[in-house]
Amino acid sequence: MQKKMVTSGIERLIKRQQRYHVKNSEKRVLARKNLERKLKGQAFARQLQSILLKKIRYNVFFYCSLIDTHLFLSSF
């Protein structure tokens, strides 16, 4: 039973359950922090994606130029 609760995520949900009343002002603060965390994650994902695309484009260009050079030299 313990293993089933752990694998299904029920244990995590039980741990996250509120133990005390949260005021509206606290809810606003928590919501703002969650939104900021989400936006930072999205910005990081965009930066990472642009870096990976640059690397891929460079590698594709580099390998294509090598193939073209090889084909050019082998034609002689």
Q: Tens of pLDDT along 17-69?
A: 666 677 888 889 999 999 999 999 999 999 999 999 888 888 877 777 767 66
Higher pLDDT, 75 or 44: 44
Q: Helix, strand, coil % (nearest 5) of the chain? A: 85, 0, 15
Q: How confident is the model at residue 70 (pLDDT cuts 50, 70, 90)?
A: low
Q: How far is the CA of 26 from the CAs of 18, 20, 37, 62, 66, in angstroms?
A: 13, 12, 16, 54, 60
In the prediction, which pLDDT does 24 show? 85
- Indicate the number of domains in the chain: 1
In the prediction, which pLDDT does 7 show? 62
In the prediction, which pLDDT does 33 show? 93
Concatenating the DSSP letter of every residue in 51-76 gives HHHHHHHHHHHHHHHHHHHHHHHHT-
- Count of residues in the chain: 76
Give the range of the structural domain holding residue 4, as residue numbers without chain letter: 1-74
